[in-house]
Amino acid sequence: MASFQQNDQKHPMKALTVFIVEDEPLIVATIETALKKQGFKVLGDCDEMKESLLLIDKLQPDLVLVDIHLEGLKDGVDLALELDKRKQPYLFLTSQTDPQTIARVKQTKPLGFIVKPFTENGLRSNIELAWHNFSLTEEDYLLIKSDGKLHKINQASITYLKAFDNYCYVHTTSQQYLVPHTLKHMAEKLNPKYFIKTHRSYVVNVRRVSQMETNSITLSEEKIPLSGGQKETVKKKLLEL
């Protein structure tokens, strides 16, 4: 049996979307509650392979959570092999597994494994780490939590980051987010090829720089401070583009 809702395509900066393939209703309910509380968007769930594939193809989630042990002739490993063909990112949900199943799992390419029983924080951290590692090999994305929601942001859309005490503002071409992390912490998650510190309180996307002056740089029509110590480094980075 499956339940789902249509994916909202109107907002390019949306919460990370997840689809759950699990045949134990209590575990499904636990996962859905935990994910929603952590700011993820659950698109739906299903308990068998064939219908799961149809829904995954239709809803196009960012990530699928797949229980290795499913009822029926086809299990989570069979589903994973199909997801690999589609290059659909997924994580396995697993408890103790027999050697034969482990041998089959080795033929698949999951982002990782979430071991049952899991905690809410463990679930979140496993998903965030797996998605971060995946993003390094795909188009650059940044996961941020702001106003109680988890957002997946294309790094190319970020214009600059600004320090705010132990918090940090992430400015994009269309929105700004206040995140509960320091500027240093957030900067470490960005692609160093395109992001550079211009001032102790600012990190900018050099792809968005339109002008460089003595004490500032311009992003669109907004001026960002440029410290003397960073001037040559920023200039070199701009010339490398």
Nearest-CA neighbor of 39 among 126, 152, 139, 131? Answer: 152
Per-residue pLDDT reduced to its tens digit, 125-150:
888 888 877 766 656 778 888 888 88
pTM, to two decimals: 0.57
| Two tokens, residue 93 | 């949900």
pLDDT band at 197 (very low <50, low <70, confident <90, very high): very high
Q: Is residue 75 part of a domain?
A: yes
pLDDT band at 45 (very low <50, low <70, confident <90, very high): very high
Q: What is the CATH number of the domain that holds 79?
A: 3.40.50.2300
Q: Is residue 151 part of a domain?
A: no
222 with 129, same domain?
A: no
Report the C-alpha gap between 122 and 151 in whole angstroms.
19
Q: Which structural domain range is residue 54 located in?
A: 3-137
Q: Is residue 147 part of a domain?
A: no
- Residue showing tokens 């103790």: 96
What's the chain's Rg over C-alpha atoms? 21
Do residues 63 and 17 make contact, with C-beta atoms less than 8 angstroms apart? yes
25 with 93, same domain?
A: yes
123 with 15, same domain?
A: yes
64 with 127, same domain?
A: yes
Report the C-alpha gap between 8 and 99 in whole angstroms.
41
54 with 88, same domain?
A: yes
Q: In what order do the strands lie in the sheet with 216-219?
A: 209-212, 216-219, 222-225
Per-residue pLDDT reduced to its tens digit, 93-123:
988 677 888 888 889 999 989 988 888 888 9
- What local confidence, expressed as pLDDT, does residue 2 receive? 45
114 with 190, same domain?
A: no
127 with 160, same domain?
A: no
91 with 178, same domain?
A: no
Give me the mean pLDDT over the 69-85 stretch. 89
- What local confidence, expressed as pLDDT, does residue 4 receive? 38
Q: What is the CATH number of the domain that holds 184?
A: 2.40.50.1020
Listed in sequence order, the residues at least 6 apart from 191 whose beta carbon sits closer than 8 Å to its beta carbon are 140, 155
117 with 186, same domain?
A: no
Q: What is the 8-class DSSP label of residue 174?
A: S
| Two tokens, residue 59 | 């809803």
Chain-centre distance for alpha carbon 52:
22
76 with 182, same domain?
A: no
161 with 120, same domain?
A: no
Q: What is the 8-class DSSP label of residue 115?
A: E
Q: Is residue 9 part of a domain?
A: yes
Report the C-alpha gap between 181 and 164 in whole angstroms.
9
- What local confidence, expressed as pLDDT, does residue 139 receive? 60
178 with 231, same domain?
A: yes
% of the chain exceeding 70 in pLDDT: 91
